[in-house]
Structure 1
Amino acid sequence: MQTILRLAAAALLLALSIPVMAQKIKLVEGDLSALKNEKQLNVEYTYNQLKVGKFDNEDDYIRKKTEEYNQKEAGKGDNWAKAWKDDRKNRFEPKFELLFNENSDIKAGRFPEAKYTLIFHTTFVEPGFNIGIMRKNAYIDAEVLIVETASKKPVAKMSLDNAPGRIFGGFDFDTGVRIQEAYAVSGKKLAKSLNR
């Protein structure tokens, strides 16, 4: 019994000593007051010049992971690479909009007729990992631009750093699930910051 208590205490101390990443949203320039009476916000997503983990170029990351998975099992890497790109439209973007809409009076989505467009430009992805006994949370960094839809004239620019992605209970073994949660957190927090 004493051994169990010691292990539990050690685990608690370890958990408390792990640095907690807090998401930061900052208005870099411009003014968000233009959105005050808007009911809809068009959303576009960009991923150009994306850095992933220790890779300065997403293509290098995809190439390495594809080769590793294909060496373990023929075709597995190719399937992984396709899922890596498909997750954007199938998981990340819908989850961002769902949580944004649950936390804002402005409805975000594909509204090309809306006066303003939010461009969510992902600049960095830490995919993290979860192998059961060890884990590293995913997180994303992004630049958020609010522009006039018709002219693309800038209205505001925001930075979003360290949006964490993990599932409560730790059952986020799939990379896409972890990153999806980072987009969910981003949508929720961004909506709340625009509501102020």
Structure 2
Amino acid sequence: MTAFAIASFTLLCMYASAQKRTVIAGDYKNLKDIKEFNLVFDYKGLMVDKSSEEGFLKDRMEKRSDENAQEFRDGWFADRENRYEPKFVESFNKRFEGSEVTVAEGRSDAKYTIKVKTTWIHPGFNAGVVRSTSAINVTVSVFETSNPDNLLLSVNYEKVPGKGAMGFDYNSGYRISEAYAKLGKAFGNDIRKKSKG
């Protein structure tokens, strides 16, 4: 078996076991009949692979020239607002035909808020022949906007994979954004299917 075949088989196995979800509090049924959600993202305490986020950035920046290093750092943080968050919103809202349920950032007048807390990111890589799919661990919590202690649901999503179509995902921000798209799809589908009854 060639190295390429082994790598392909390994990635296939990773997808088969990817995206484990565990309800840690509340119930999807608590979300029944809620039509709109405020949305917030939280990256505090984020780990990147086996390092703190700052440790990861320091390592990556040391391998670049001063100008490219700062550009990499700025791009890493800008990807949150420019890539990850819009992908989640778009993918979540797409699950509900006719916009019967919607989520949007800055909707402070909405009675309920969804908080997407990212705890871990594997950026992955794509070197052409050899690649590694990105992945994220996230806790998604839903609570009353004016009373965050009133928690309706909290779910851990582990190893949500992200990769671009046809393998053209050489940019880490693009790969990671696809994981957020998959997360939005998964959470939207879970609400649609499990809040009934």
Report what 2:63 is aligned to: 68
Tell me, in whole angstroms, the C-alpha distance in 2 between the residues paired with 1:26 and 1:195.
17
The one of the two structures with greater contact order (alpha-carbon pairs below 8 A, sep at least 6) is: 2
1:172-191 Cα offsets, whole Å, 9 max, x none, are: 00000000000000000110
What SS does structure 2 have at the residue aligned with 1:169?
A: helix
CA contact (8 A) 1:25 1:190 kept: no
Q: Secondary structure at the match of 1:26?
A: strand
Would you say 1:162 and 2:163 are equivalent positions?
A: no
Contact 2:31 2:152 in 1 (8 A): no
1:58 counterpart = 2:58: no
2:148 match: secondary structure: coil
Identify which of 173, 178, 194 aligns with 1:176.
173
Query: Residue deviations 1:61-110, cap 9 Å, x none?
Result: 1111112122xxx4001000000001001110000000000013410112
State the one-letter code of the partner of 1:91. Answer: R
Q: Which residue is 1:186 aligned to?
A: 183
- Seen in structure 2, the aligned counterparts of structure 1 residues 60 and 155 have a Cα distance that, compared at 3 Å, is same
CA deviations over 1:23-76 (Å, ceiling 9, x no partner): 122211112223211111111000011010121x11111111112122xxx400
Match runs of 1:1-196 below 5 Å: 15-18=8-11, 19-21=13-15, 22-55=18-51, 57-70=52-65, 74-104=66-96, 105-110=100-105, 111-153=107-149, 154-196=151-193
* Bigger Cα displacement from structure 2, 123-132 vs 99-108: 99-108
C-alpha RMSD of the superposition: 1.7
State the TM-score, normalizing by the size of structure 1.
0.88
Whole-Å separation in 1 of the counterparts to 2:19 and 2:41 = 19
Superposed CA deviations along residues 154-193 of structure 1, whole A, max 9, x for unmatched, are 2211000111010121000000000000000000011001
Aligned to 2:180, the other structure's residue is in SS state: helix
Amino acid in structure 1 at the alignment position of 2:134: A
> Structure 1 stretch 98-107 or stretch 175-184: which is displaced more?
98-107
Structure 1: gaps spanning 5 or more residues: 1-5
Letter in 1 for 2:184: G
Identity %: 31
Tell me, yes or no, if the aligned pair for 1:114 and 1:149 is still in contact at 8 Å.
Answer: yes
**Distance in 1 separating the partners of 2:152 and 2:29:** 9
Equivalent-residue separation in structure 2 for 1:165 and 1:53 (angstroms): 15
| Separation in structure 1 between the aligned mates of residue 186 and residue 64 of structure 2, nearest angstrom | 35
| Paired AA for residue 156 in structure 2 | S
Higher Cα radius of gyration: 1
Gaps of 5+ in 2: none
For the 8 Å contact 2:7–2:130, the answer to whether it is kept is no
Letter of the 1:94 counterpart: P
> Matched residue of 2:69: which SS?
helix
> What is the identity, as a one-letter code, of the residue corresponding to 2:173?
G
TM (norm. structure 2) is: 0.88
- C-alpha distance 118-164 of structure 1, shift in aligned 2 (>3 A): same
